[in-house]
Amino acid sequence: MALRIGDEAPDFATQTTEGPIKFHNGIVKGYAILFSQPKDFTPVCTTELGYMAGLKPQFDKRNCKVIGLSIDSVDDHKKWAKDIEETQGHAVNYPMIGDPELKVAKLYDMLPADAGTTSEGRTAAANATVRTVFVIGPDKKIKLMLIYPMSTGRNFDEVLRVVDSIQLTAKHTVATPVNWKPGQDVIIPPSVSDEDAKKKFPGGWKTLKPYLRIVPQPK
């Protein structure tokens, strides 16, 4: 099943380092980040898991849960967590899904259906496509998908920026321009007429083109 932005994130029940979860129930009314790793005890992923642990309080402020996944057992995750804390200075403080039967990876189209039913004997290279970040909204719909190569560490500051943009644009019916950061000007989308924009933005806006209207970020 190919997944796209706007699709409902598949639900599942599984074991994690913090006990069993049912994914949709775990999201409740907030946002969630599901990010995956191809294998435990891999170098780039070790740095990512540690950095995400340090960044997690920022996602908490945004009512955004962090959930990791790796193609190995929960027991292996717990052993790996010791290395992560020792080398990265942050203990893993979010649930890590154990996926030794590859069920969630297949459900989220990170591995093909014919990939087998066990992580045993599989190398990180064989699981190279299990390097995806999903941002999922309160409506259980996928808002963002990022897929990285194994050799490139992910930019979780960018994921935090995207969450800020998604939440702002959902609340105020605006869009954010290239490289936008919180507090900067935003865009009035073409779907909002000038008449409606006057009601929403009584302070006015700058029109660069009829389709490109810039306005200060709403509070």
The predicted model scores a pTM of: 0.94
The answer to whether residue 52 scores a pLDDT higher than 70 is: yes
Q: Tell me, what's the pLDDT at 26?
A: 84
45 belongs to the catalytic site: yes
Residue 219's pLDDT band (cuts 50, 70, 90): confident
The number of residues in the chain equals 219
What pLDDT, in 10s, does the model give residues 175-202?
999 999 999 999 999 999 999 999 999 9
Which of 128, 133, 127 is closest to 150 using CA atoms? 128
Give the C-alpha separation, 177 to 56, whole Å.
25
Yes or no: say if 176 and 187 are a contact pair by the CB < 8 Å rule.
yes
What pLDDT, in 10s, does the model give residues 112-171?
999 999 999 999 999 999 999 999 999 999 999 999 999 999 999 999 999 999 999 999
Residue 13 parent element (H or E): strand 13-16
Write the CA distances from 108 to 36, 124, 140, 153, integer angstroms.
Answer: 10, 18, 14, 21
Catalytic residue among 45, 104, 124, 133: 45
Residue 1's pLDDT band (cuts 50, 70, 90): low
Which of 179, 207, 180 is closest to 192 using CA atoms? 207
Look up residue 92 and give its two tokens: 């893993």
